[in-house]
Chain A
Amino acid sequence: MKYNENGVSIVPSEFKKEIFDEARKDFRYEEYVRGCLNCGVCTGGCPPHRFFDFSPRIVLQNMKSKDPELIWTMMDEYIWACFQCFTCAMICPFLNSPGGVIAILREIAVRRGFESAKKVLKPYSRVLLKLTAYGNQLSPDMIQPDFFPDWGPHIGYASTDLAVKRKAIPMPTLQVTNLAWDVAPETMKELYEIFDEAGVFKILEAVDPSLYEIVQDIVDDVRSS
């Protein structure tokens, strides 16, 4: 995809139409998008609306507009402002789900490896690695001040001498710091099968090719063990 000097994507209108159609064909579309009163209740209850120029009402209106251009304008940044809390879906008098529409659009962005999706997923590459390669989500060695600044002032202390601290936990642990729990190789192989079938590895290849290579090396190792 090409971008102009402001980082805005330049794409032909046929491509925008393709994205639009992909969203409309999603199996959840009918359930998420009904009519809209343009009442703003969803937006009034939406947490990010208070901090950003972001409105679930606009998301729903754009989606109903049948104008691929309007959907496209949201793909670069707009859809990533949502917290996916689904307050909007809980309070919409029409029972729409603007948050659900955003989920559909995000999944398209991820499946197609859009630059915006890559940028958003970058900080999660370690989580993705642990999850897809080892079936773990967070492991002790992931606790590092750079990655978790929101964990408060003691994160620096918490991230040192991990091996010793883990031994001090008064219940059986793996006594390792790169895994949270031990997943048996047979289970891992099954997981890889599922990831293959569900297209998870393909998505990973689209959004983070170098991470994909690392994961594939591990997968190959486990599979041949």
Chain B
Amino acid sequence: MAENILVIGGGPAGLNAATMLSELGVNVTLVERDSFLGGNPKKFKYKFLFPDMQPADNVIGELIKKAEAAGNIKVNYSSEVSDFKENGKKFDATIKSADKSEIKTFDSVIVATGFEHFDPARDAKYSYQLFDDVIDIKDLERMMGENNLLRPSNGKPPKKVAFILCVGSRDRHVGNQYCSRVCCTVSVKQAIELREHFPDCEAYIFYMDIRTYGFFEDLYWKSMEEYDVQIVKGRVAEITSGPDNTVVCKGEDTLLRGPFEIQFDMVVLASGMEGGPQSPEISKKLGIELDEHGFLKPENVTLSPFKSNKDGIFLAGACTGPKAISDSITEGAAAAMNAYTYAVKNR
């Protein structure tokens, strides 16, 4: 008889885990709280992905197609695990949607509940939601996905845009000390896209450290060499309104200018990634550990980053911390392998 494995979360990590398991002949139950698959990249309509600017559809669309085509993946949309109990080496889970609720026994479980975007309104100094032209990177992804790169305040093309890094990350005031890892690269990518779209529009990036780690550095170099993106070292201390419907970024350029107050048409906040409400919820429901950053905690961050502290429950993707899609996909495969091995051993 085929194994039954539960995958919670239908983003890149969960989709790849489900697909790999289905290829091994496992009966997969995929639980997704949204009414669609694809996770955050789908929700916010990412258009082109770093590092190579390939269309997001090549990746996310592909993952969704494979999962939907597999005969042995049962996708439960708009649903959640409402009750969860250990049953010897197996697990009994109640899967609940708006109109029904069903109890099933699983041999093992993969948690791939992902992340939430930091809400920049929580950091008042950036005046998000106060000024129409202050947006964040997920808003800009969505705007680009909808082919609309115009200023929200007046629908005109922007002439000068600032990207502010580390919003909601590396700041004790908002409770997040960690680095969100992808926002530097996302911002550099978006600055390039903006300059490509509006060659007359200037783009500035205000940074503390540029963390385009590994090969992502290529994009950073390219942004300066080919797109003349202005890179200014200094974290913006305040955003206020300026004359002629502009927003003013105020701060210290720690290398060149000293104090600055620069007017922009549009400001893009590089808000980071958080464990969201789902991480503590899942942690409580499944009895797995939460870490001090608000993400799910792997049994051993280096040796077994895809294992929870509970035998038979595995972790994949951004639910254990900020990471890129490639890492999430890799972890989905690793978790699938481990969940399968556990299931077979305890057959």
Contacts and interface: CB of A to CB of B under 8 A. Distances in A.
Whether A associates with B in a native complex is yes
Interface of A: 37-45, 49-50, 53, 55, 57, 91, 93-95
B235 A39 contact: yes
Most buried by A among B233, B236, B251, B252: B252
B237 A91 contact: yes
A38 to B, nearest CB: 6
B233 to A, nearest CB: 8
Given A39-B208, A41-B251, A44-B251, A93 B259 contact: no
Interface in B247-264: 250-254, 258-259
Contacts of A94: 172
Interface string B3-25: 00000000000000000000000
Secondary structure type dominating chain A contacts: loop
B200 interface: no
B173 interface: yes
A222 B161 CA distance: 68
B196 interface: no
Contact of B259 (A39, A50, A95): A50
A40 B252 contact: yes
B173 to A, nearest CB: 6
8 contacts: A39-B166, A40-B235, A40-B252, A40-B253, A43-B237, A43-B259, A55-B258, A93-B173
Contacts of A43: 237, 251-252, 254, 259
Contacts of B254: 38-40, 43, 57
Nearest to B208: A39
Interface of B: 125, 166, 170-173, 208, 233-238, 250-254, 258-259
B237 A41 contact: yes
Given A38-B208, A50-B259, A57-B254, A44 B172 contact: no
Nearest to A61: B254
B211 to A, nearest CB: 12
Contact of B238 (A37, A45, A53): A45
Contact of B236 (A37, A42, A44, A53): A44
Given A44-B251, A57-B252, 12 more contacts: A39-B208, A39-B234, A39-B235, A40-B252, A41-B252, A44-B236, A49-B252, A50-B259, A57-B254, A91-B173, A93-B171, A94-B172
A50 B173 CA distance: 24
Nearest to A88: B237
Nearest to A51: B259
A55 B234 CA distance: 13
- Report, nearest first, the 8 A-B pairs whose CB atoms are least far apart: A44-B237, A40-B252, A44-B251, A93-B171, A39-B235, A43-B252, A45-B237, A40-B234
A132 B166 CA distance: 49
A89 B172 CA distance: 12
A49 B173 contact: no
A40 B125 CA distance: 14
A44 B208 contact: no
Contacts of B259: 43-44, 49-50
B172 A55 contact: no
Nearest to B251: A44
A38 B252 CA distance: 10
A43 B235 CA distance: 10
Contacts of B253: 40
Contacts of B166: 39
Contacts of B250: 44-45
Contact of A93 (B170, B234, B252, B258): B170
Given A43-B252, A49-B252, A49-B259, A37 B208 contact: yes
Contacts of A91: 125, 173, 237
A49 B237 CA distance: 13
Contacts of A53: 258
B123 to A, nearest CB: 10
A101 to B, nearest CB: 17
A115 to B, nearest CB: 28
B208 to A, nearest CB: 5
A40 B173 contact: no
Contacts of B125: 91
A55 B255 CA distance: 12
A73 B173 CA distance: 31
Contacts of B170: 37, 93
Nearest to A43: B252
Contacts of A50: 259
Contacts of B252: 40-41, 43-44, 49, 55, 57
Most buried by B among A38, A44, A49, A53: A44
Nearest to B236: A44
A37 B235 CA distance: 10
